[in-house]
Each structure stands twice: as C-alpha cells, then as structure tokens.
C-alpha cells in the first residue's frame, strides 16, 4: 500500500459516526439496528478493498452515507409485492401464476388467522386428515375414485413414481421427455424417484408397438406427459391415452399421466382445443392423473393427484408424502375454488374469467383506457410526443397450456416521440417496472403495449397514476 492509499484508509469514517447520522439511523426502526450495522460494515469493506485495488480516489462522508442510504432504502420495502400484469399472459409463472378469487382469499385469511379443523374430525373428536377437506370435491369434479393433494405438481410426479415405480421401469415416449421452465426435467425427476426411464419411439412419432416392445418383467408404469410449452407438429403421432391405458391394464401395468395444467372445465368454446379435461383422462382409463393447482385450475400452488383409490391409498401411506404435504392456506384456497366449480361459478375464478374474456369487451376496455391515457397526455401537453392507439393483441394462456392457441385480445399501444433516450420505449418500460406498484408490460415494434386481458379491476387506475408519475418526474422536468 502506498502513502496515498494509507491516507485514504485513515480517512474512512468510523462505523459509529455513520450509524449516528440520521439518514442512516432512521432505518433502525424498520430494519433493526443490527441489519443497518451490517450493511454499513459491508459497505466499508468494499471501500477498503477499492482502496487496495486503486479504484478509490477519495473518501467523501456524504457519498458514503448517500450510497448506504440508497441500499437501506431498497431493503426497506418488501421484494415480494403485488404488481400489474399487462403482458396478456394469464398464467404467468414469473408473476405468480393464478390470482385467487375473493372467496378463496377470505377463506385463506379466516383459516390462517385462527385455529382450524385442519387435521381434526369435528364429528368424532379425533384426529382427521387434511386431505379430506378437498378429496371428495376433487372426486366429484373429475369422476375419480380418490384424490390426494401435495405441494405442487412436480412433487406429485416424484411421489407417484417413487411410491409406484422405484427400482422398476417407467416407459415414456421420446416425444414427451419434456423440460418445463425452472429445471423440471422428466429424466431428472425419474432418476430422483429411483425409477428407470425407458424411452420409446422417436421425437416426432411413437406407436403402441414401441411400448409393446419395451415392456419387460421390470416394467411398472406407462407414463404420458403433457408436452406443455412446446408442440411437435407436422409428421407426428402419439398413442391415444385410452389405447395406452387398455394396453397397460391387459399387461398388469399402470397407466399414469402428468397433465401439467389440468383443466376441470372444458374451454373449447374460446377456441382452446386439443387438451383433455381431467375427467376425460379418468374416463379414458388412466389410473392416476397429476396436475397443478395454480395453472388452468386457477387456484393456489398445489399438486393434485386423482385416480384409483387402491393406488391413492398407497401414496397416502408413503413416507415421502410427509415432506410434500400441502399447507393449510393452500388447502383453504383450493377448497373455496373447487366449490365454485361445483356450483358452476367458475367464471368467478380470475384465471378462467381472463382466459374466457369476451373480445368485444376487451376492445371496449382498451378504448376506454386509451381515452384516459390520451386525456392525461393532453392535459400535460405531451400528446404530440406520446401517441396512443387501441391495438389487437395476441394473448396467451401461459403456464405451459395451449402454447399454440393464441387468444385474440386488445390493448393500448403507446409510442414515444419524446426527446433523448425516452424515445426508446424500453426505457419507459423499465421506469414503469420500477414504479410502485410495478407495471409489467409488453413491447412490440418499439411500442409499449398494455394488454387488457390481464389487467384487474383497479389496475387501470394504477396505470394512469404511474403514467402521471412518469410524466411529472421524467418528462415535465425535462
């Protein structure tokens, strides 16, 4: 270390001095003194190492306090927070998948803020089963004999393979060996569960003979997996689930299906065709079907397994279940939602409502939001620099469901002719993302697009407020 560096080291302000400055100590209340202290300490470590590597030319107390203050400000607000999804992708995994209906939220609050009958039989005054609250509903809605819920669908698949095919073989078509975003890869799941994966067919074509030829004494399961976020089209074929189930049963094997999204209600009326409902899979003879609670079903994060009671009973006593069991809040949410399906009120489930939203209504809403935005721009004398129009959009179900079915929708497009870097709508999109509440929007042809389909009741006001903030902070001041 040379003389200059030694001097800089000595100029570093004392911890206590920094901690006593009100711009720093004001965070003691929200973050705790120890947290604030560790942030200051880490910052000073960085300053010291910068001095050693010659990246620090001078020491300024103001600068240090300002940098630490910024860091503390960031830490002050929760990082998991509500936001506006203007992407038009309904089941957006990064944005929390399904939004729950009011009745489910209320039930979750009631159950979470009180003791409950989670594992208690009120009629008999003895220990009960948490699964019982939803099992009969799932059976009623899918036609299955029995049902079991776990943490998520990945857990459901691992449980099922571990309990029913450990040290045995599971046959899967090469066309269905999928990876779903977030490191869920069927071959990895298979090896984790201790079942040996036997691949049959080719990427684009698999026939019943392929399964027939692969069956050995070691075979336990013939498994079908929903290809989710991708489709093999063109010269392709796969084996029909009824045919596969019949073949499995003739040979004393199990036929199971990972449906991924899992629909309880038919959505062909909005053009979503090609995927079966859970009931259709059960009727085709599939022994066990697994699916997610928070994708097309529109509920909380869950893995749902429905099918033959003899098999479900095996899963219920398999020790791994204890590590995958669902919590009371998810169960409370799921029960409310299943009751909506039971009474034909699924249109009250936001996920279903957004997927089935009427195009003419979306257009009306887009026109109305566009008018509000245009008036805002007019009132701030920027309407010649920020152009708006109503546009057609291609929305999506998301969550790996119906990847090739576009949902025709409407949105508001904003084009920027603002000076400087604000002409790039990426910049505006970044600012809206970092506003509070954040708005996540799409960009197309250098236009900001607000898709109406995924905007919720109060979201339009938030959009207007955020745009107003944006104007006053970045545009009006120049």
Ligand X SMILES: *Cc1c(COP(=O)(O)O)cnc(C)c1O
Q: Using the rule CB under 6 A, is 303 a contact of ligand X?
A: yes
- What angle do helix axes 153-165 and 309-316 make, rounded to 10 degrees? 100
Interatomic CA distance for residues 355 and 378, integer angstroms: 33
Q: Using the rule CB under 6 A, is 400 a contact of ligand X?
A: yes
Q: What is the closest distance, in whole angstroms, from the C-beta atom of residue 189 to ligand X in the complex? A: 8
Which residue's Cβ has the minimum distance to ligand X? 260
Q: Using the rule CB under 6 A, is 173 a contact of ligand X?
A: no
Task: Report yes or no: 372 and 464 within 8 Å, Cβ to Cβ.
Answer: yes
Residue from 258, 346, 395, 460 binding ligand X (CB under 6 A): 258
- Among 19-27, 224-232, 444-452, 468-476, which window interacts with ligand X (CB under 6 A)? 224-232
Task: Report yes or no: 149 and 293 within 8 Å, Cβ to Cβ.
Answer: yes
Give burial (CB, 10 Å; 0-12/13-18/19+) of 59: middle
Nearer to ligand X, 303 or 350 (CB): 303
3-state secondary structure 235-285: CCECCCHHHHHHHHHHCCCEEEEEEECCECCCCHHHCCCCCCEHHHHHHCC
All residues at 6 or more sequence positions from 189 whose CB lies less than 8 Å from its CB, including other chains: 154, 157, 158, 161
Residue from 85, 158, 184, 334 binding ligand X (CB under 6 A): 184
Q: Using the rule CB under 6 A, is 288 a contact of ligand X?
A: no
| Cα separation of the two ends of the chain | 45
Q: What is the closest distance, in whole angstroms, from the C-beta atom of residue 400 to ligand X in the complex? A: 4
- Among 50-58, 220-228, 408-416, 433-441, which window interacts with ligand X (CB under 6 A)? 220-228
Interatomic CA distance for residues 415 and 386, integer angstroms: 6
Residue from 87, 107, 206, 292 binding ligand X (CB under 6 A): 292
| 50-89 positions binding ligand X, by CB under 6 A | none
Q: Using the rule CB under 6 A, is 98 a contact of ligand X?
A: no
Q: Using the rule CB under 6 A, is 326 a contact of ligand X?
A: no
Nearer to ligand X, 255 or 413 (CB): 255
- Among 58-66, 200-208, 240-248, 253-261, which window interacts with ligand X (CB under 6 A)? 253-261
Q: Using the rule CB under 6 A, is 175 a contact of ligand X?
A: no
Q: Using the rule CB under 6 A, is 226 a contact of ligand X?
A: yes
Spatial strand order of the sheet with 146-150 comes to 146-150, 303-307, 288-292, 254-260, 219-225, 169-173, 196-200
Q: Using the rule CB under 6 A, is 225 a contact of ligand X?
A: yes
Q: What is the SS3 assignment for 357?
A: coil
Q: What is the closest distance, in whole angstroms, from the C-beta atom of residue 98 to ligand X in the complex? A: 11
Nearer to ligand X, 101 or 260 (CB): 260
Q: What is the closest distance, in whole angstroms, from the C-beta atom of residue 223 to ligand X in the complex? A: 11
Nearer to ligand X, 261 or 429 (CB): 261
Q: Using the rule CB under 6 A, is 153 a contact of ligand X?
A: yes
Q: Using the rule CB under 6 A, is 333 a contact of ligand X?
A: no
| 15-44 positions binding ligand X, by CB under 6 A | none
Interatomic CA distance for residues 136 and 134, integer angstroms: 6
Interatomic CA distance for residues 416 and 375, integer angstroms: 16
Helices (H) then strands (E): counts for the chain: 20, 17
Residue from 131, 142, 162, 228 binding ligand X (CB under 6 A): 228
Residue from 68, 180, 334, 386 binding ligand X (CB under 6 A): 180
Q: What is the closest distance, in whole angstroms, from the C-beta atom of residue 293 to ligand X in the complex? A: 7
The tokens for 336 are: 């409310």
Give burial (CB, 10 Å; 0-12/13-18/19+) of 98: buried
Nearer to ligand X, 303 or 333 (CB): 303
Cβ neighbours around 190 below 10 Å, total: 22
Cβ neighbours around 249 below 10 Å, total: 14
Q: Using the rule CB under 6 A, is 262 a contact of ligand X?
A: no
CA distances in angstroms from 104 to 137, 259, 296, 343, 348, listed in the order given:
15, 24, 16, 15, 11
Give the binding-site size for ligand X (rule: CB under 6 A): 14
The tokens for 169 are: 């073989």
Q: What is the closest distance, in whole angstroms, from the C-beta atom of residue 256 to ligand X in the complex? A: 12
Nearer to ligand X, 21 or 321 (CB): 321
The tokens for 405 are: 């079915």
Q: What is the closest distance, in whole angstroms, from the C-beta atom of residue 37 to ligand X in the complex? A: 39
Q: Using the rule CB under 6 A, is 152 a contact of ligand X?
A: yes
Site residues (vs ligand X, CB under 6 A): 152-154, 180, 184, 225-226, 228, 258, 260-261, 292, 303, 400
């Amino acid at each position: 270390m040379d003389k200059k560096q030694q001097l800089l080291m000595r100029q570093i302000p004392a911890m206590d001095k920094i901690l006593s400055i009100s711009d720093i100590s004001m965070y003691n209340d929200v973050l705790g003194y120890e947290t604030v202290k560790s942030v200051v300490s880490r910052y000073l470590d960085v300053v010291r190492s910068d001095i050693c590597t010659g990246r620090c030319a001078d020491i300024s107390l103001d600068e240090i306090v300002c940098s630490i203050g910024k860091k503390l400000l960031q830490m002050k607000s929760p990082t998991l927070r509500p936001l506006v999804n203007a992407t038009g992708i309904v089941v957006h995994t990064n944005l929390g998948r399904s939004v729950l209906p009011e009745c489910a939220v209320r039930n979750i609050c009631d159950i979470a803020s009180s003791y409950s009958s989670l594992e208690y039989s009120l009629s008999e005054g003895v220990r009960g089963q948490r699964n019982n609250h939803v099992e009969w509903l799932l059976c009623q809605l899918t036609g299955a004999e029995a049902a079991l819920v776990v943490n998520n669908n990945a857990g459901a698949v691992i449980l099922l393979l571990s309990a029913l095919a450990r040290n045995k073989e599971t046959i899967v078509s090469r066309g269905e060996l999928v990876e779903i975003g977030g490191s869920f890869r069927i071959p990895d799941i298979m090896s984790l569960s201790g079942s040996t994966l036997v691949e049959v067919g080719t990427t684009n074509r698999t026939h019943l003979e392929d399964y027939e030829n692969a069956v050995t004494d070691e075979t336990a399961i013939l498994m079908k997996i929903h290809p989710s976020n991708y489709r093999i089209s063109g010269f392709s074929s796969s084996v029909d689930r009824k045919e596969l189930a019949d073949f499995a049963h003739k040979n004393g094997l199990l036929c199971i299906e990972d449906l991924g999204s899992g629909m309880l209600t038919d959505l062909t009326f909005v053009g979503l065709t090609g995927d079966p409902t859970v009931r259709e899979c059960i009727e085709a003879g599939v022994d066990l079907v697994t699916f997610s609670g928070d994708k097309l079903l529109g509920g909380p994060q869950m893995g749902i397994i429905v099918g033959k009671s003899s098999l479900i009973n095996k899963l219920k006593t398999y020790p791994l279940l204890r590590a995958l069991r669902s919590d009371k809040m998810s169960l409370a949410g799921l029960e409310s939602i299943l009751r909506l399906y039971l009474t034909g009120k699924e249109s009250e489930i936001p996920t279903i409502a957004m997927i089935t939203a009427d195009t003419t209504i979306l257009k009306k809403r887009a026109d109305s939001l566009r008018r509000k935005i245009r008036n805002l721009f007019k009132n701030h004398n920027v309407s010649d620099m920020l152009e708006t129009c109503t546009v057609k959009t291609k929305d999506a179900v998301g969550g790996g469901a119906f990847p090739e079915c576009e949902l025709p929708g409407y949105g508001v497009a904003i084009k920027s002719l603002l000076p400087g870097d604000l002409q790039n709508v990426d910049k505006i999109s970044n600012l809206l993302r970092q506003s509070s509440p954040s708005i996540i929007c799409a960009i197309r042809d250098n236009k900001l697009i607000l898709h109406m389909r995924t905007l919720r009741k109060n979201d339009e006001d938030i959009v207007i407020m955020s745009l107003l903030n944006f104007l006053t902070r970045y545009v009006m001041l120049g």
